[in-house]
Amino acid sequence: MTNTKSNAPATTVTRDVRNLDAPTGNLYESIVIISKRANQISAALKEELNSKLQEFASSNDNLEEVFENREQIEISKHYERMPKPTLLATQEFLEDKVYFRNNKDE
């Protein structure tokens, strides 16, 4: 799950509430959809980061053996610079890239 091609902002921006509730007709429903998508993105990013950092893990870590690993630091910095999952989910929602359905309508 690489979100490098997303045009989501890297920092928090002010949103117009009318744009958020337009797809669902209910602001709170839109916020729930965005939060559930943000949780999915967060879990995927965490899994991806853990798999990349697993290469650097050693079975017996002592304080004497811990040393600065340049590749590990670069991977961590890359993930820190990425937009937060909430911003990615909001951008996807506003671009109609999130599928959702309401069970009450069925």
pLDDT tens by residue, 93-103: 999 998 888 77
* pLDDT at residue 7, rounded to an integer: 74
**Quick check: 66 pLDDT over 60?**
no
Q: Where are the alpha helices (DSSP H) in 4-84?
A: 17-21, 27-53, 70-81
For residue 92, is pLDDT > 80?
A: yes
- Pairwise CA distance, residues 100 & 5, whole Å: 23
Rounded to the nearest 10°, the torsion over CA 60, 73, 51, 67 is -10
Predicted confidence at residue 41, as pLDDT, reads 94
Whole-number pLDDT of residue 15: 84
Q: How confident is the model at residue 69 (pLDDT cuts 50, 70, 90)?
A: confident
